[in-house]
Amino acid sequence: MGKILKRAALIIVALLAALHFYIAWFEMFAWTSRGPKVFDTFPPELFDQTIQLAANQGIYNAFLAVGLAWSLLIKENKWQFNVAVCFLTFVAVAGIVAAITVALKSGLPQFIPASIALVLLFLSREKNRAS
């Protein structure tokens, strides 16, 4: 059971890494082209004025994506767990902040899967200890 929980958690980690790679690309390279379509309630002139801010935010999302992806490549269980928990916690906190400061729909796609993955990782660890 512990291996199934861990596998499910790592699948979510992979999906979150892909999401954050997409967000990084969006903020760093597609802010002025896709941004006005995605954030259609923002004034169109805002995107050219905030391109540097979006790119800066994008690099942070890239760091999250790389950290999550890195955790998938670690073979030693203890360190894979530690690195995954670290970066999942960063994503969960970023989701909370986005939900509060931007919009609920911006934060929940980060917070919910990160929280689920964290719970699954901790449950899989407990199941492995009990075995």
Q: Is the pLDDT of residue 97 over 60?
A: yes
pLDDT band per the 50, 70, 90 thresholds, residue 128:
low
The per-residue pLDDT of the chain, averaged, comes to 94
pLDDT band per the 50, 70, 90 thresholds, residue 130:
low
Tokens found for residue 50: 């905030």
Q: Is the pLDDT of residue 39 over 90?
A: no
Q: How many residues does the chain have?
A: 131
Helices (H) and strands (E) in the chain, counts: 6, 0
Q: Is the pLDDT of residue 126 over 90?
A: no
Q: What pLDDT sits at residue 1?
A: 80
Q: What pLDDT sits at residue 102?
A: 86
Higher pLDDT residue, 87 or 40? 87
pLDDT in tens, 60-92: 999 999 999 999 999 999 999 999 999 999 999
Q: Is the pLDDT of residue 131 over 60?
A: no
Burial 53-81, CB ≥16 within 10 A → b, else e: ebeebbeebbebbebbbebeeeeeeeebb
Give how many domains the chain has, as a whole number: 1
Domain assignment of residue 42, given as a range: 2-130
